[in-house]
Structure 1
Amino acid sequence: MATEQAPAQRAEQKRTGLVGTLIKLPFTLLWILILSILTSIVIEWVGIYFGWFSQTGSEHARETMVSELGYLDSQFTRSLLVSSPVQFAQTFVDTTYQWLFVKTGIAGWVEYGADEVGWAGTFKTYLQAAMFVTLMTMTRCVILILTSPLFLLAAVVGFTDGLVSRDLRRFGAGRESAFIYHHAKRLVTPIFLTGWLIYLSLPFSIHPNLFLLPCALLFGLMIAVATSSFKKYL
């Protein structure tokens, strides 16, 4: 009786695990966004304190934010998700700025007496840098949203290629490796989430394609490896 119930229990656990993962995914992405903003702010503040940047004060953060917005204007003129990506990005960033900094009074306080000296002026410089970094990260978040079909396409191609390789191995009496399957399966989600975390936290401007294309390629490759090494018979 116990052996008959075991497969049903394992199937139920798999379904529960899949549903739980889908439910936790939005909260995981939100956590990554918050962690990326905090990490970027800390890096920017440390860079200002130790003079890592050629620009003074919060100018480095402002120029990075402007560069990220420039990528949207020049590279993301069309999208599968929205009709006007640039307008969508501007609305998204402006809404974030209004709710986080204007309605809370932070923007007005920073702009008032911006030429102050002493600890008050220094504090306002760091706070202004944090504002620019937050808007820069939100801009990159929009870029990730607009390029999400790229990761979906990589997943579909990797899954399809993996199924073909699995069938060739199945009908060709090839050997299967549980070691490769389990390790490739474990790497799929970390590659996806870690790639987003690193991209959102970078303290300098980078073209999205230089980072997202290799990340999507590696993401699809891990799905292909995991699918192709799946056991022959269910």
Structure 2
Amino acid sequence: MARQRDPAPNSAPPAAPQADSPVFSPISGTLRLIWRCVAWLFLSVVIGTVLDWLGMLAGWWGPDHSLTVLSQDIAWLGNNFTTSILGRSPAEVALAISRAVHDHLSFQVHPSPRDSAFIALAKQTALTVQPYWQGVIFSAMNTVVRLFIIMLSAVFFIVVFVVALIDGLVERELRKEGGGIEHAAVFHHAKIWVSRPLAWSPIVYLSVPVSINPAWVVLPSALVFGMATYIAFFTFR
């Protein structure tokens, strides 16, 4: 008896069902952005506090180091930003907000001879850790001042973006009219570097435990941001 052949498959195996792509929601996107900003701010306070503690333990500076850094940052703010906000200078507004943070986080310990042994031990422990807790408070206050500086610097980044955008689009049209070669790889690399200066420079500036001129952070990051924006639009298809 002749052996029957297996029937050939009539069609390819069914494709796996594709998952629906998530729909972007302005509300959820805004909430995620706010959550990320709050998380980065908290991380910067933690990093700045840890670095300040390490400096105190290593003997590089004393307990008043964070207060000195805060005073110098307020001076940088007053020297670099003089435009009034609601009739007050940016330095005065930042100082008022930082003082509110200090009032909510600070505490006072007053030992008394009538305290019990447990209360006396607790107060003595609080007095021991109080310089380190003051470092946390001043790091939070310093973050408020530096965040204020970053917010005021946002206008400069917007101007840099607009100028780089216009120049990049003009060069792109000249390249297309002249029969220039497209560089997709250059475009993808430049597109990545557009957002990196905007993310890295604030984190570095908020976390550094010493006072530096904000122009030393803003200008290099704006230069990288502008060059990446220009190259991205210049090489765009």
Q: TM-score, normalization: structure 1?
A: 0.78
Q: Does residue 182 in structure 1 map to residue 181 in structure 2?
A: no
Structure with greater helix percent: 1
Inter-partner Cα distance in structure 1 for 2:125 and 2:23: 56
Give aligned pairs, total: 206
Q: Of 91, 98, 103, which residue of structure 2 is paired with 1:93?
A: 98
Among candidates 208, 221, 227, match of residue 227 of structure 2: 221
1:64 counterpart residue number: 69
Q: What's 2:42 paired with? A: 34
* Partner AA of 1:108 in structure 2: F
Change (3 A) 1:41 1:211: same
Q: CA deviation at 1:88?
A: 2.2
Instruction: Name the residue aligned to 2:171.
Output: 165
The letter of the residue matching 1:183 is H
**Equivalences for 1:109-188 in 2 at 5 Å?**
109=108, 112=110, 119-188=125-194
1:152-181: CA deviation from partner (whole Å, max 9, x where unpaired): 111111111111111111111111111111
Secondary structure, counterpart of 1:69 in structure 2:
helix
- 1:8 aligns to what? none
- Tell me what 2:208 maps to: 202
Give a deviation string over 1:92-137, Cα, whole Å, max 9, x none.
22333334x1xxxxx1236x46xx9975433111111111111111
In structure 2, relative to structure 1, the CA distance for the partners of 1:15 and 1:82 (3 Å cut) is: farther
1:208 Cα deviation from its structure 2 partner: 0.7
Name the structure 1 match of 2:117: none
**What secondary structure does 1:206 align onto?**
coil
Structure 1's 179 and 21: CA in aligned 2 closer, same or farther, altered over 3 A? farther
Is 1:141–1:200's contact at 8 Å kept on the other side of the alignment? yes
Change over 3 Å in CA distance of 1:149–1:38 after alignment to 2: same
Aligned partner of 2:82 among 77, 84, 87: 77
TM-score normalised by the chain length of structure 2: 0.77
Gaps of 5+ in 1: 1-12, 102-106
